C-alpha cells in the first residue's frame, strides 16, 4: 500500500507565528486587553491616591466611617513579595512570574469559547491583577503598594483582589460547567434505559 506523498510545509518563523496569532484572534485579544487595562488603570489610580494622600505606615478612614476602624481601613504599606504580603523579598521572581502568567493567559484566551464567559472573566481579572502589580514592581523598584486592610487579614490592593476573585470565579465556573455537563449526560442516557 502506497502512502500519498505529502508536500512538506515550509517552516514559519516565530515572528510570523506571532503575527498570524494576532491576526486571527485580534477581537478576543482586544476584549481581554481592554478589560485587563481597566483593572490596571483602577489599580494604579487607587495606589497613586494612597501614595499621595496617606503617609506610609499610617491609617486613614473618613470621619463618617470611623465606626469601621476596628474592621476595615486604608493602611498605606508596601511589599516585595506575592499577594497579601507573602514571600517577601521575591520581587524579581514575582515580576518574571507575572510576565510568564500574562503571556500564558494572552495565548490561551482566544481558545476559550465565547460562551464560556466564566473562564473569560476569570482570565481577564487574573491578567489585570498580574499586570497591575507588575507595573508597580517595574516602576517602584520591586515594591507593590498595598492599602486595603480588613480586620487582622493581610493588607492587599485592587490587583490582589482581582487575582483572588478571578480564581474564585474560575472555580465556580468550572463547578457549574461540570454540573451542567453531568446533568446533560444523565438526560441523554436516561431516555434509552
Share of the chain above pLDDT 70, in %: 88
Q: 59-60 and 72-79 as β-strands: parallel, antiparallel, unpaired?
A: antiparallel
* Residue 163 falls inside a structural domain: yes
At residue 85, does pLDDT exceed 60? no
Per the residue annotation, which of 20, 28, 136, 160 is the catalytic one? 160
At residue 1, does pLDDT exceed 60? no
* Residue 8 falls inside a structural domain: no
160 is catalytic: yes
* Residue 5 falls inside a structural domain: no
Angle value at C-alpha 167, between 61 and 160, nearest 5 degrees = 30
**Mean pLDDT score of the chain:** 87
* Residue 54 falls inside a structural domain: yes
Three cell numbers written together for 70: 476596628
Distance CA 137, CA 29 (A): 24
Reported as a pLDDT band with limits 50, 70 and 90, residue 7 is low
* Residue 153 falls inside a structural domain: yes
* Residue 6 falls inside a structural domain: no
116 is catalytic: no
Q: Count up the domains in the chain and report the number.
A: 1
Residues 6+ apart with CB under 8 A from 111: none
What range defines the domain where residue 177 resides?
A: 14-189
* Residue 159 falls inside a structural domain: yes
Burial of 15 (0-12, 13-18, 19+ CB in 10 A): exposed
The per-residue pLDDT for range 155-191, each reduced to its tens digit, is: 999 999 999 999 999 999 889 888 988 888 888 876 6
pLDDT at residue 161, as a whole number: 95
Amino acid at each position: 500500500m502506497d502512502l500519498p506523498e505529502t508536500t512538506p510545509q515550509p517552516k514559519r518563523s516565530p515572528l510570523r507565528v506571532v503575527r498570524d496569532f494576532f491576526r486571527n484572534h485580534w477581537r478576543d485579544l482586544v476584549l481581554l486587553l481592554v478589560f485587563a487595562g481597566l483593572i490596571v488603570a483602577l489599580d494604579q489610580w487607587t495606589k497613586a491616591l494612597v501614595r499621595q494622600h496617606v503617609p506610609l505606615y499610617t491609617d486613614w478612614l473618613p470621619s463618617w466611617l470611623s465606626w469601621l476602624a476596628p474592621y476595615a481601613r486604608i493602611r498605606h504599606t508596601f511589599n516585595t513579595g506575592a499577594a497579601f504580603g507573602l514571600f517577601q523579598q521575591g520581587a524579581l521572581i514575582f515580576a518574571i512570574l507575572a510576565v510568564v502568567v500574562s503571556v500564558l493567559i494572552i495565548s490561551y484566551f482566544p481558545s476559550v469559547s465565547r460562551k464560556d464567559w466564566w473562564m473569560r472573566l476569570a482570565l481577564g481579572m487574573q491578567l489585570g491583577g498580574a499586570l497591575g502589580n507588575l507595573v508597580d514592581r517595574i516602576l517602584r523598584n520591586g515594591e507593590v503598594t498595598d492599602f486595603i486592610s480588613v480586620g487582622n487579614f493581610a493588607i492587599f490592593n485592587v490587583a490582589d483582589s482581582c487575582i483572588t476573585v478571578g480564581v474564585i470565579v474560575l472555580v465556580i465556573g468550572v463547578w457549574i460547567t461540570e454540573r451542567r455537563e453531568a446533568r446533560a449526560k444523565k438526560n441523554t442516557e436516561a431516555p434509552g434505559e
